[in-house]
Chain A
Amino acid sequence: DQQVKQNSPSLSVQEGRISILNCDYTNSMFDYFLWYKKYPAEGPTFLISISSIKDKNEDGRFTVFLNKSAKHLSLHIVPSQPGDSAVYFCAARLVYNQGGKLIFGQGTELSVKP
């Protein structure tokens, strides 16, 4: 049973436009959410995170929104740049978590075209 889902395997956006990547979860006991970015042949790198007590967190061009009632979070990239082309994973942590374990979604491949 996939507790964290990214239903869009891929997304294509024009340079300068907004990219919106979505993530849904099923477990209301998640208390912390993260987005990771992954380039080919590299490991994932941390991008941005949000606590369940907030509904928005912003870092430069990247903003994460959390809608707890809908169990949905999204990552907004504005403006999108060709260097943003990568696979994006959302991840979630359980509130009673032991060991910092994260549950990852399947990933969305973003392609930003010049």
Chain B
Amino acid sequence: NAGVTQTPKFRVLKTGQSMTLLCAQDMNHEYMYWYRQDPGMGLRLIHYSVGEGTTAKGEVPDGYNVSRLKKQNFLLGLESAAPSQTSVYFCASSYSDKDVYQETQYFGPGTRLLVL
């Protein structure tokens, strides 16, 4: 199993450009998440999804959109990139069973984005 994979690994954008980050998981997880990591800020949740076709806002959703058309994929879009979106982006997934207390999230390797 590959676990959680992310593409691309690194990208440089100019202000105003758009791009889509792709996350894929092969663990049949219901839940998927997009985080950004910035120095001194930890991991902050951007958007998340509790199942195919559903998405919800997290802590810092502004400037981002997401889609979950297939259970195994979760896409993060930047319509008009800004320098403030320079960050490392992590995707994660988890299997939540109400009978099982643990809800461990499994993370991808990250996408480093630089917006000039």
- Residues of A at the B interface (CB closer than 8 Å) are 4, 6, 9, 32, 34, 36, 41-46, 49, 51, 89, 91, 93, 98-107
Contacts and interface: CB of A to CB of B under 8 A. Distances in A.
List the 7 closest A-B pairs by CB distance, nearest first: A43-B107, A104-B43, A100-B103, A106-B42, A104-B42, A99-B50, A46-B104
Contacts of B43: 44, 89, 91, 104
B44 A104 contact: yes
B90 A43 contact: yes
Nearest to B48: A99
Interface residues of B, number: 30
Interface string B85-115: 0000010101010000111111111100000
Interface in B52-82: 56, 58-59
Interface of B: 4, 31, 33, 35, 40-45, 48-50, 56, 58-59, 90, 92, 94, 96, 101-110
B101 A99 contact: no
Given A36-B107, A43-B107, A104-B42, 19 more contacts: A4-B42, A9-B40, A42-B109, A43-B108, A46-B104, A49-B102, A49-B104, A51-B101, A89-B43, A91-B43, A93-B103, A99-B49, A100-B96, A100-B103, A100-B105, A101-B58, A102-B45, A104-B43, A104-B44
